């Protein structure tokens, strides 16, 4: 897992230093403060290392530098398909430096870098077993065939690697063998939430409830989102050694279901799964604060805000210590105060 992250001149981030990291890490901020950008940056690093490790030693296996460059291009899909477009405007170079499983790793990009990386560290030793998963805000099951065709047949931009990697994971068949017992129980609870299961039937996904079955176009998005988590557990992709990135897990969920899914994510983190998620939801934030304080567990909160001259500025908190002032809470309190005033005026 990550122990430290340093970003310089990456998109909206002039400078970001983040340490330490916990099993649960929340990222909040108003629109256009780089939440998803930060999430994808961490995903690109972890996924490129995972893919490099799998290919290492094979005939014509590529270097981590080449794998990283490819992952940056297909995940961010920058303008003109040039990596240097990831550099903050007005700057000449970006640098990313992380400590990942106690290895110091870095890469830099300059104006000369369009499709390649000129400077990066060597991966000097073996990493513990891990895999990286990214679940985007938009569900992928309805557009599954379109994502596959766009990437595998046409090889054109549109759906980035966060979508393509996820559908490849969901394609994997259920294999025989025992799922980790606590995760198996969690998968059962997720299926119970939606009163059914998402299943792969002859290359197409269906939602099966009792003796009825529905196509993905007939299935509510909230059900599909929860079904994705359960499916990934059942096909052994989501496991104890996973680093899980989730972009706005609350999207298309009723508040009562949001609370339940937050509880499940908290349980996953207690099992050893590292989780990074972005959110705009008051319910997500408040529920995580409640769980942190109730169970005396640290939950990192990275709050991003824009400054006129310095790009996006991060502030870091531990929800175990209570809820700090932030835009989500501020707007919620303002709405509450407006309603109270309206009652008095009435």
What's the pLDDT tens digit per position in 263-320?
A: 999 999 999 999 999 999 999 999 999 999 999 999 999 999 998 777 899 999 999 9
Buried-exposed string 44-73: b where 16+ CB fall within 10 A, e elsewhere? bbbbbbbbbbeeeeeeeeeebbebbbbbbb
Per-residue pLDDT, 334: 83
Residues 53-69 have pLDDT tens digits of 988 877 677 899 999 99
* Residue 175 banded pLDDT, cuts 50, 70, 90: low
pTM above 0.85? yes
Per-residue pLDDT, 82: 96
Residue with tokens 């990009």: 109
Phi, psi of 136 (to 5 degrees): -70, 170
Percent of the chain topping pLDDT 90: 77
What is the distance between the alpha carbons of residues 256 and 129, in angstroms, rounded to a whole number?
Answer: 35
What is the distance between the alpha carbons of residues 323 and 317, in angstroms, rounded to a whole number?
Answer: 8
N- to C-terminal Cα separation, the chain: 55
- Going along the chain from its start, the domains and CATH numbers come out as 2-130+241-345 (3.40.50), 143-232 (no CATH)
Strands across the sheet containing 131-135: 119-120, 103-110, 93-100, 2-10, 13-18, 311-318, 300-307, 24-29, 274-278, 242-247, 131-135
Q: How many CA atoms lie within 13 A of 191 on its CB side?
A: 19
**Separation of CA 146 from chain center:** 22
């Amino acid at each position: 897992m990550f122990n430290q992250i340093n970003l310089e001149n990456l998109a909206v981030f002039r400078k970001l230093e983040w340490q330490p990291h916990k099993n649960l890490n929340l990222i909040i901020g108003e629109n256009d403060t780089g939440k998803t950008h930060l999430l994808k940056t961490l995903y690109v690093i972890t996924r490129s290392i995972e893919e490099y490790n799998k290919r290492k030693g094979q005939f014509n296996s590529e270097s981590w530098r080449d794998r990283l460059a490819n992952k940056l291009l297909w995940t961010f899909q920058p303008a003109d398909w040039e990596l240097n477009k990831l550099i903050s405007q007005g700057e000449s170079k970006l640098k990313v430096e992380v400590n990942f499983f106690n290895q110091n790793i870095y890469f830099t990009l300059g104006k000369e870098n369009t499709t390649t990386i000129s400077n990066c560290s060597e991966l000097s030793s073996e990493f513990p077993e891990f895999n990286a998963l990214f679940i985007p805000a938009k569900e992928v099951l309805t557009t599954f065939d379109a994502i596959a065709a766009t990437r595998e047949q046409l090889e054109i931009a549109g759906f980035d690697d966060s979508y393509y990697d996820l559908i490849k994971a969901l394609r994997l068949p259920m294999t025989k063998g025992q799922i980790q017992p606590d995760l198996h129980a969690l998968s059962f609870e997720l299926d119970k939430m939606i009163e059914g299961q998402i299943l792969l039937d002859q290359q197409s996904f269906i939602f099966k409830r009792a003796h009825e079955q529905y196509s993905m176009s007939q299935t509510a998005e909230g059900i599909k989102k929860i079904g994705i988590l359960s499916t990934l557990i059942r096909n052994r992709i989501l496991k104890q050694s996973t680093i899980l990135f989730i972009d706005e897990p609350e999207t298309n969920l009723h508040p009562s279901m949001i609370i339940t899914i937050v509880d499940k994510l908290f349980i996953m983190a207690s099992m050893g799964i590292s989780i990074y998620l972005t959110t705009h939801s008051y319910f997500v934030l408040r529920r995580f604060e409640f769980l942190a304080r109730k169970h005396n567990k640290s939950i990192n909160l990275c709050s991003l805000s824009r400054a006129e001259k310095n790009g996006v500025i991060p502030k870091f908190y531990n929800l175990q210590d209570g809820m700090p002032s932030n835009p989500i809470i501020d707007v919620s309190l303002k709405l509450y105060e407006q309603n109270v005033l309206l009652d008095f005026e009435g």
